[in-house]
Structure 1
Amino acid sequence: MPKTSAINQPHTTVVLAMSADGKIADVTRSPARFSSSADQAHLESQVALADGVLFGAGTLRAYGTTRSVSNSQLQQQRKQRGLPIQPVQIVCSRLAQFDPQLRFFHQNVPRWLLTTEAGAEPWRDKSDYFERILVVNASSDGINWHDAYQQLNQLGIQRLAVLGGGNLVASLLAADLIDELWFTVCPLILGGAAAPTPVEGTGFSEQLAKRLELLAVERVDQELFLHYRLSRE
């Protein structure tokens, strides 16, 4: 079923790996390295399907890099579909306070910044860092996502892969902008009340909870790959 919030917006798929107890990182929020090579291949395949890859400032700071398409077969498939080899990598942040020495800024990928007027100002004369800066209206949680999606659609972004973190996913869910979710459940328990989860933010009441339709379950060794679609009935 199409989104009820608006039409002609990017089809959005969240792709995350989590522990068996639903954590996407440990309590120190260190980069999560617990998924298998099968999950990494799955992640790259989802990235290769996208026009743009969207992630938050915390995810960028934690990893220092982004997921590009390195598999030559996936690159060739993108060429055959008339797409550039690499999707646009879009980091979103209200204030855009990043270390310019991050490896991300040396990766051979197109980089966009999605931010507010305040966040855009320090980066305006630094085209080597971001090819494009999208300035969107601010909202109570930082970014007006309907404004952002309208701009992304106008720039030809038809499919988005969202790689975290939990606050970004929560904001997109609240704005009714997520279509699908891929969760890889990994065989470990991290625990910790402060450890990040796939969806953070303020949460939803049971009455307002987002309902999902399970599309597929696949087991690969000790991991489960769960594919959901948002139910809007």
Structure 2
Amino acid sequence: MVQHRPHTTVVLAMSADGKIADLVRSPARFGSGADKAHLEKQIAASDAVLFGAGTLRAYGTTLTVSHPILLQQRKTENKSLQPVHIVLSSSGNLNPDIKFFQQPVKRWLLTTTKGSNFWQGRSEFEQILVMETPTGNIDTRAVWQHLGSLEIKRLAVLGGGELVASLLESDLIDEFWLTICPLILGGTAAPTPVEGEGFLSNFAPKLQLLEVHTVEQEVFLHYRLQRSVGMDYAS
């Protein structure tokens, strides 16, 4: 059965030992200029980008499209200059004074009924999407279907690890772009691209390597999730 949901790509940079931040979860600024350009290109190719509240708290901002060629490409495709930026936060506990809320992007909040209370009637978010499971958690499957109905055809997920884990468990990820950066962070408390409870090896999601290339000291890996016949998704 074809599922009309966004084609979803996770885009992350990590250390050579698989960490996306250090042990105190500082903003991960260890990627090079080439990695930042790569990330901007992936954002520019998307109708929306999604990130968790922890990622937003760490950075306080989001990366916008600024390269003239990428802006012109979006304009030629009759798209808005910036994709929609969606924050996922069950609690809705976000600081309205951070720089993110002054950036020139459309902002949506994906949250629970409880998490939406503070933001109702405010102007920071253009849309507040509330879709819950019977247990009061965000119903990501329902949300992805709804995003598809809103003409979000390509979605880039920018972290963090808990969010990526939940999307993998719900089989909502199609591709990964992983940049391996030349440093070792270590630490059992340092976050990885996929957090959560983890997968047993026999049931772990399998990947197909689509391309690999290096730019100076960084390695860019492009993977596609392998699925059984009949599990294809509309992009």
- TM-score w.r.t. structure 2 length? 0.95
Q: How does 1:1-233 map to 2 (within 5 A)?
A: 7-127=3-123, 129-138=124-133, 142-233=137-228
Q: Runs of 5+ in structure 2 lacking a partner? A: 229-235
Distance in 1 between residues matched to 2:149 and 2:131, nearest whole Å: 13
Distance verdict in 2 for CA 1:136–1:223, change over 3 Å: same
Decide whether the 8 Å contact of 2:112 with 2:136 is kept in 1. no
Distance in 1 between residues matched to 2:64 and 2:163, nearest whole Å: 20
- TM-score w.r.t. structure 1 length? 0.95
The one-letter code matched in structure 1 to 2:120 is: R
The 3-state SS of whatever aligns with 2:69 is helix
Q: Runs of 5+ in structure 1 lacking a partner? A: none
Decide whether the 8 Å contact of 1:141 with 1:171 is kept in 2. no
Report the alpha carbon displacement of residue 139 of structure 1 after superposing the two structures with TM.
6.4
The 3-state SS of whatever aligns with 1:112 is strand
- Which deviates more from structure 2 when the two are superposed, residues 130-139 or residues 146-155? 130-139
Decide whether the 8 Å contact of 2:5 with 2:146 is kept in 1. no
Distance in 2 between residues matched to 1:77 and 1:174, nearest whole Å: 34
Identity of aligned residues (%): 60
Report the alpha carbon displacement of residue 140 of structure 1 after superposing the two structures with TM.
6.0
Distance in 2 between residues matched to 1:72 and 1:103, nearest whole Å: 23
- Which segments of structure 1 move beyond 6 Å, counting only runs of 4 or more? none
Distance in 1 between residues matched to 2:196 and 2:111, nearest whole Å: 19
Q: RMSD across aligned C-alpha pairs, in angstroms?
A: 1.2
Once the two structures are superposed, residues 33-85 of structure 1 have per-residue CA deviations (whole angstroms, 9 ceiling, x without a partner) of 10000000000000000000000000000000011101111011001111100
Distance in 2 between residues matched to 1:53 and 1:34, nearest whole Å: 21
